[in-house]
Amino acid sequence: MSDQEGIDPVKYGVLWERVTQMDKKIDKMEGQIEELLALANKGRGGFWMGMTIASMLGGGVAWILAWFRG
């Protein structure tokens, strides 16, 4: 397109619509990413709670075995 032709309104309209649709998709993706982040944070807390319980159980078993061995 040369400077003499100017802006084609049809092409501009098509481009505008594509940008609008992409903007809506990006907004939707941002919401989904926030949900995934929240879910990951919940999972991380559950993981550490599981590690704590497993450590306590392992320590308890080791203490009992040591107590029985004398």
Radius of gyration of the chain (CA): 30
Q: What is the structure's pLDDT at 56? A: 95
Q: Where are the domains of the chain?
A: 1-70
User: How confident is the model over 11-70, as pLDDT tens digits?
Assistant: 999 999 999 999 999 999 999 999 999 888 887 888 888 899 999 999 999 999 998 887
Tell whether the model's pLDDT for residue 1 goes beyond 70: no
Rounded to whole angstroms, the Cα distance separating 47 from 37 reads 15
Measured between its terminal Cα atoms, the distance across the chain in Å is 91
Q: What predicted TM-score, i.e. pTM, was given to this entire model?
A: 0.52
Rounded to whole angstroms, the Cα distance separating 4 from 20 reads 28
Q: What is the structure's pLDDT at 3? A: 52
